[in-house]
Structure 1
Amino acid sequence: MGKFWPFRRNSSNDGTNASSIQTVAQNVEYQNIIRLQDPDDGFIVEYELAQIDALQTMNSDVREKIAAGLNDVELRIQKNEDRIQVLRVEEDRLTNHADSFDYAVAVASGLLTGTIDAFFVDEFDISKSKGWSNQQINTLVMRAARKEGYTGDRLSGAIKKLEDKYKFAGDGVYQLAENAGHNISNKSHHLDDFRHHPTIIGLIYSLITQFSSDHIAFFSNRYGENFSFLVADDGDLIGHTFKEKIIAGTFNWVKHLISDMSGSNKTSGTGMGLPGPLLATLKEISALPAINETELSEVVNDLFVNKKFNLQSEIALGAELGRQSLPVILNEVLVRAFYFVRHFSKEYQKAKNLNYIQWENVLPIKYRTIARMLTISTGTFMAVDMADAAIRSAVKSGGNAVGFASSFVLRVNFVGIGRFVIALGTDIGMEIQRQRVQNEQIQIYMEQIHLCNARVFYKQADMWLSAKEAGLAIRDAYQSVERAVALYDRTLVENDRALTDIQKNVKAIKKKNAGLIDDILEDL
């Protein structure tokens, strides 16, 4: 690698032959220095020489590092470009592209279904569906009993058939708690005994009774106090093998719960029955540490014992919500169907062939546009529903605030409220996701700028390395010229010396051989 020193002039002349350029090699601080000097004007140039083989090795290593670094940068740039493409698609999905026509259809759908709800869906009343739910439960009990050989027509007989065949280990152990003053009664024991819950927790506690060494039964009273009692080994009610325990804890458990759904054989159709999955879950939650110190357990107990909110009530509640859900479902279907038809038409016009349609752009799911349309339609539905509820409640209450409030609550479509909240939450959630996608794109673009700068630096380094190699080639050429000049200088000196010698011997030559001079001049 050449190291060029500043040009400098010497004021004195060293008296060397003016027609030659002298080259002097010396070692300065272990560096090879070439000095070019013109004795005429004292002009001197010095530069450093490195060994060519060592320099080539160094250049090769540097080029490999440059190539590796440049390749890494290119790979990262391409990876970022691929990620940006994915993010652009995701951003488009999370961006609302609805136009005025989409909004108009969404509002129209909300108005139509809201009107249907106002005129065809009556106020919320569980008592209307309670008779139907009782009938469904009684039918289920009768079917289960007939599968076990029952031939009668009375519900009490069917319940007794199931109770006799599918006795429950420790079914009467609640009496121990009642006698001990633990606030567990005959009316509440189906709620307080977790094994009578038609939930996964109820199944787990049923298996615990089978597999625990002391056959423990767990209870939680109306105040959230938890107790456990030992269950006697009631003959065949506790399995003796693993298989028997599983059957007794699952199959027998299910059949016993069916026998309790409509009350006992003495109170068939009018007994406490079983708590439904919703109330049973609330009871299980109320027994948890810290939560059992609240009033939740008392509220749950009051609902079951005093309000008789049991399994039949929950089925009736589901039926009422199902009735309210009809206009909500219709609203959903209308909006999604419109979205599908419109976007299918657009895609078909582009593709001209069903085989080339991008179905992900047609299906009315996972896109911000359909989420926004559903937010508009469900919001419109709720506006119509609440306006109707307010008008009817005002007329019915006659200006009484309490009457208005109670009537208004019963007239509101709870399913519609829930669907509007979900639609609004989905819309807002997609906006948050879109902002995150945009922020990630900005970060990637910033990284791309740095990577592009790095790519420029690597290419500049390669360019300078090539320039250095070109400089070395020029130096080699200059050295060749320098050697040629030196050879030319030596030739001139030798020729001059030869001519001088000839001049000294001209007279002697003329005397001895007069024609030799003419021959030499002719040759020259």
Structure 2
Amino acid sequence: MDDKVDKYDYLLGAFIGIFAGIMDVLFVGKPGDSMLGNWTDKKTNDIVMKYAQWKGYTPKNGEPNLQNAVQFLERAYPVNYDHGKSIDTGNVISHMTPKNHHLKSLGHSPDLIGLGASILDQFQNKSTFIDNGKIIRINSEYELEGSNFVSKVYAGAGNWFGHLMSDVAGSNGAIGNGNRGSGIPIPFYNMFGLCNFGEFGQYRQPLSTIMVQVFEHGYDLRHGFAMAIPVLVGNVTTMLAWSLKRRFYHQWGWRECLPSDNYKSYRRMQLTQTTALCLVDGVDAYIRGKGNPVTVILHMNLIAWLQLVKLIIKEIMKTYGRSYADINKDLEMINTELDKELAYLQAIDYQAWKLENEKVADLNRRMELADTATVGQLAFEYCFTSQVKVNYKDLNEFKALVKGKKALW
């Protein structure tokens, strides 16, 4: 069984990727202007109402209402880190509004980081935020239910998930006003808040600020579901194309035609497909963005780009026979060397070094203003006061050395 990669693998991958990219451009687009996005918004609303009913919400007149369902869940699953504005935090968190507080509050992240932050906040009566590239915690009174540690953890996790369900479709206020509202972020999207570097756009803002603005325009989990659809279509179609080609063109057995990362041809086809998808997506975003970084990112499929990075890393590791354990060992070795260098730097007498630099700077200033005769005197005085090892005993010998009678050093 020969697992060679031929031109048809690349062509199939590219064709599927272009198809998925066109699907992304036409049907995903940006939040609020997306056919698939409108569909995922509606499905999210339906799930929230069904979840609320499962938890005890009784619709009036037998007809579920999204705003009432959200209000029910908010009352059923209150949390202490649900600050909506900067003023609610004593202005410790800057520029926080109802449009972005789900992003700045770490407990609103639907991932393991968010779960950990939520439980920790509920246990410690704190609220954890990411703002201006820093993690900030403030006091926030709260009494967690439960009679022991295990029950409190269980209650905290339940509150976290229930509260996420109350926010995933937007706040009840926004829903009541007929707006889409601000949902919860895509998993790990909060980490962009730590990326307080770079200068982008007309106002030269850091990446963290740009990503907050992107979220405020509706780039939330609901839009993430929409972005995942063309990515999923591309992946499944690639799996099917690879399997059928191996079965009928290469005459492999059905068992060997099951897609696996152990096959180089399969990895390369998926990588080609995702690359093509991202190229189509990136070109479209660049054209529509017209130089505005927020608009560019709003049109980008973050799910596809993250998959591309993952596939590239995986291919490099497979090609060079590296595993995550090997990378971990390399990182440990690097950390060990960095610790050695840090210990060396810590051993340096910084104050003495700073004082010596100031003396040299002062000497330079004085020598620039001095005449020729005085320069020698200044250099002589500095060498002896600083205990610099030289080959002369006094000023006269120094002057003789300068005239070339002996080597200066």
TM over 0.5: yes
Cα distance, 1:107–1:413 mapped onto 2, change above 3 Å = farther
Q: In structure 2, how many angstroms separate the alpha carbons of the residues matched to 1:413 and 1:232? A: 36
Q: In structure 1, how many angstroms separate the alpha carbons of the residues matched to 2:77 and 2:87? A: 22
Cα distance, 1:300–1:363 mapped onto 2, change above 3 Å = closer
Q: In structure 2, how many angstroms separate the alpha carbons of the residues matched to 1:204 and 1:108? A: 44
> Which letter does structure 1 place at the counterpart of 2:6?
Y
Q: Does 1:254 align with 2:161?
A: yes
Gaps of 5+ in 1: 1-92, 289-293, 348-356, 435-524
Q: Does 1:231 align with 2:135?
A: no
Q: CA deviation at 1:262?
A: 2.2
Please name the residue that 2:59 is paired with. Answer: 151
The 5 Å alignment of 1:324-363 reads: 325-326=233-234, 329-341=236-248
Please name the residue that 1:311 is paired with. Answer: 221
Q: In structure 2, how many angstroms separate the alpha carbons of the residues matched to 1:420 and 1:230? A: 38
Post-superposition Cα deviations, 1:445-486, rounded to whole Å, max 9, x if no partner, equal: xxxxxxxxxxxxxxxxxxxxxxxxxxxxxxxxxxxxxxxxxx
> Which letter does structure 1 place at the counterpart of 2:224?
E
Q: Does 1:245 align with 2:152?
A: yes
Post-superposition Cα deviations, 1:298-355, rounded to whole Å, max 9, x if no partner, equal: 22222223x2322222222223434xx43x643442233332456656x8xxxxxxxx
Q: CA deviation at 1:254?
A: 0.9
Q: CA deviation at 1:157?
A: 0.9
Equivalent residues, number: 298
Cα distance, 1:340–1:296 mapped onto 2, change above 3 Å = same
Q: In structure 2, how many angstroms separate the alpha carbons of the residues matched to 1:121 and 1:180? A: 40
> Which letter does structure 2 place at the counterpart of 1:199?
D
> Which letter does structure 2 place at the counterpart of 1:151?
P
SS at match of 2:6: helix
> Which letter does structure 2 place at the counterpart of 1:231?
S
Asked if 2 retains the 8 angstrom alpha-carbon contact of 1:226 and 1:287, the reply is no
Please name the residue that 1:130 is paired with. Answer: 37
Cα distance, 1:410–1:304 mapped onto 2, change above 3 Å = closer
Q: Does 1:371 align with 2:278?
A: no
Cα distance, 1:247–1:418 mapped onto 2, change above 3 Å = closer
Q: In structure 2, how many angstroms separate the alpha carbons of the residues matched to 1:165 and 1:115? A: 46
Q: In structure 2, how many angstroms separate the alpha carbons of the residues matched to 1:424 and 1:244? A: 41
Q: CA deviation at 1:195?
A: 1.6
> Which letter does structure 1 place at the counterpart of 2:116?
I
The 5 Å alignment of 1:482-493 reads: none
Q: CA deviation at 1:413?
A: 13
Cα distance, 1:203–1:341 mapped onto 2, change above 3 Å = same
Asked if 1 retains the 8 angstrom alpha-carbon contact of 2:12 and 2:269, the reply is no
Q: In structure 2, how many angstroms separate the alpha carbons of the residues matched to 1:197 and 1:141? A: 17
Q: CA deviation at 1:376?
A: 7.2
Cα distance, 1:413–1:104 mapped onto 2, change above 3 Å = farther
Cα distance, 1:431–1:315 mapped onto 2, change above 3 Å = closer
Identity score, percent: 19
Asked if 2 retains the 8 angstrom alpha-carbon contact of 1:217 and 1:228, the reply is yes
Please name the residue that 2:122 is paired with. Answer: 210
Q: 2:6 aligns with which of 87, 90, 103?
A: 103
> Which letter does structure 1 place at the counterpart of 2:72?
K
Q: Does 1:186 align with 2:97?
A: yes
Q: In structure 2, how many angstroms separate the alpha carbons of the residues matched to 1:255 and 1:414? A: 25
Please name the residue that 2:189 is paired with. Answer: 279
The 5 Å alignment of 1:191-202 reads: 191-202=103-114
Cα distance, 1:423–1:329 mapped onto 2, change above 3 Å = farther
Cα distance, 1:245–1:286 mapped onto 2, change above 3 Å = farther
Q: CA deviation at 1:379?
A: 5.2
Asked if 1 retains the 8 angstrom alpha-carbon contact of 2:83 and 2:89, the reply is no
> Which letter does structure 1 place at the counterpart of 2:184?
L
The 5 Å alignment of 1:503-522 reads: none
Q: In structure 2, how many angstroms separate the alpha carbons of the residues matched to 1:208 and 1:296? A: 28
RMSD: 4.9
Cα distance, 1:201–1:343 mapped onto 2, change above 3 Å = same
> Which letter does structure 2 place at the counterpart of 1:277?
P
Q: CA deviation at 1:270?
A: 2.9
Q: CA deviation at 1:386?
A: 7.2
> Which letter does structure 2 place at the counterpart of 1:253?
W
SS at match of 1:125: coil
Asked if 1 retains the 8 angstrom alpha-carbon contact of 2:48 and 2:69, the reply is yes
Asked if 2 retains the 8 angstrom alpha-carbon contact of 1:196 and 1:274, the reply is yes
Q: In structure 1, how many angstroms separate the alpha carbons of the residues matched to 2:305 and 2:206? A: 30
Q: CA deviation at 1:381?
A: 10
The 5 Å alignment of 1:287-436 reads: 295-305=206-216, 307-322=217-232, 325-326=233-234, 329-341=236-248, 365=260, 371-372=264-265, 375=268, 422=311, 426=315, 432-433=320-321
Cα distance, 1:276–1:150 mapped onto 2, change above 3 Å = farther
Cα distance, 1:149–1:195 mapped onto 2, change above 3 Å = same
Please name the residue that 2:346 is paired with. Answer: none
Please name the residue that 1:270 is paired with. Answer: 180
The 5 Å alignment of 1:51-70 reads: none
Cα distance, 1:146–1:419 mapped onto 2, change above 3 Å = same
Please name the residue that 1:160 is paired with. Answer: 71
Cα distance, 1:416–1:149 mapped onto 2, change above 3 Å = closer
Structure with bigger gyration radius: 1
Q: In structure 2, how many angstroms separate the alpha carbons of the residues matched to 1:433 and 1:103? A: 22
Q: In structure 2, how many angstroms separate the alpha carbons of the residues matched to 1:270 and 1:225? A: 29
> Which letter does structure 2 place at the counterpart of 1:303?
V
Cα distance, 1:372–1:114 mapped onto 2, change above 3 Å = same
Cα distance, 1:337–1:161 mapped onto 2, change above 3 Å = same
Asked if 1 retains the 8 angstrom alpha-carbon contact of 2:21 and 2:230, the reply is no
Please name the residue that 1:291 is paired with. Answer: none
Asked if 1 retains the 8 angstrom alpha-carbon contact of 2:128 and 2:135, the reply is yes
TM-score (norm 2): 0.56
Asked if 2 retains the 8 angstrom alpha-carbon contact of 1:382 and 1:417, the reply is no
Q: CA deviation at 1:136?
A: 1.6
